[in-house]
């Protein structure tokens, strides 16, 4: 927004935070971005049976400049990685990333040189969704959890402190590549 960066933390900022969080969580626009089989489940989520429109995010945009949510639906090949990053960079800020399925989250069963072992090597991920493939109900559940995260996002000085804390936690976490799954 811009204005909130100039405001001191306090009662006014808390009110602005609440308003911005409410508006942002209820107006997510995902980029149209499917990479593999998971994308079929993502498309099903937007169709009549599951009706993602109920949560204010039915407008899948063909242009990243009109989108603020990237659902990485499927495995990311090494060849696709720079394109994915370019699309992410072109998206409007603030923006969020959902890694859908085990392939996007960690490479999944594709433990080989051609597939990126987790899209968090390319873009910052806000929420991971397990499963192969995750069903539409699971995607909708992950999106609702992401909405909760967005609602709690702080602004200005509070946001800077929140980012510092998140970075600290991320540095302490075990890297995806060092996690031992069934296929490693
Ligand atoms: S998690 Fe399963 S369904 Fe999704 S892209 Fe990987 S193999 Fe396909």
Q: Where are the domains of the chain?
A: 21-172
Distances (CA, A) of 80 to 76, 131, 139, 162: 6, 22, 23, 32
For range 23-33, the mean pLDDT = 85
Residue pair 28/68 in contact (Cβ under 8 Å)? The answer is yes
Q: Is the predicted pLDDT of residue 7 greater than 80, yes or no?
A: no
**Confidence tier at 178 by pLDDT (50, 70, 90):** confident
Q: What is the pLDDT of residues 52-67, one digit of tens each?
A: 888 777 688 889 999 9
Distances (CA, A) of 131 to 88, 112, 139, 165: 23, 19, 10, 29
Is any atom of ligand 1 closer than 6 Å to the C-beta of 7?
no
Is any atom of ligand 1 closer than 6 Å to the C-beta of 103?
yes
Is any atom of ligand 1 closer than 6 Å to the C-beta of 132?
yes
Q: pTM of the prediction?
A: 0.81
For the domain covering 21-172, report its CATH number.
3.40.50.12280
Cα 41 to Cα 73: distance, rounded to the nearest angstrom: 9
- Torsion, Cα 74 124 162 171, to 10 degrees, reads 110
Give residue 162's pLDDT. 80
Is any atom of ligand 1 closer than 6 Å to the C-beta of 38?
yes
**Confidence tier at 182 by pLDDT (50, 70, 90):** low
For range 91-107, the mean pLDDT = 91
- How many A from CA of 50 to the centre of ligand 1? 20
Q: Is the predicted pLDDT of residue 163 greater than 60, yes or no?
A: yes
Is any atom of ligand 1 closer than 6 Å to the C-beta of 74?
yes
Q: What is the pLDDT of residues 102-112, one digit of tens each?
A: 999 988 889 88
């Amino acid at each position: 927004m811009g204005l909130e960066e100039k405001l001191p933390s306090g009662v006014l900022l808390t009110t602005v935070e609440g308003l911005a969080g409410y508006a942002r969580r209820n107006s997510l626009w995902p980029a149209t971005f499917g990479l593999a089989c998971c994308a079929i489940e993502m498309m099903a989520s937007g169709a009549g049976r599951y009706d993602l429109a109920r949560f204010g995010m039915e407008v899948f945009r063909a242009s990243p400049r009109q989108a603020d949510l990237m659902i990485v639906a499927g495995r990311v090949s090494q060849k696709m990685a720079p394109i994915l990053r370019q699309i992410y960079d072109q998206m409007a800020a603030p923006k969020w990333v959902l890694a859908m399925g085990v392939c996007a989250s960690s490479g999944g069963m594709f433990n080989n040189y051609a597939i990126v072992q987790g899209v968090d090597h390319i873009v910052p991920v806000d929420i991971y969704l397990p499963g192969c493939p995750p069903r539409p109900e699971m995607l909708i559940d992950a999106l609702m959890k992401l909405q909760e995260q967005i609602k709690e996002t702080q602004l200005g000085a509070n946001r800077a402190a929140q980012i510092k804390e998140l970075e600290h936690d991320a540095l302490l976490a075990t890297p995806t590549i060092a996690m031992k799954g069934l296929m490693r």
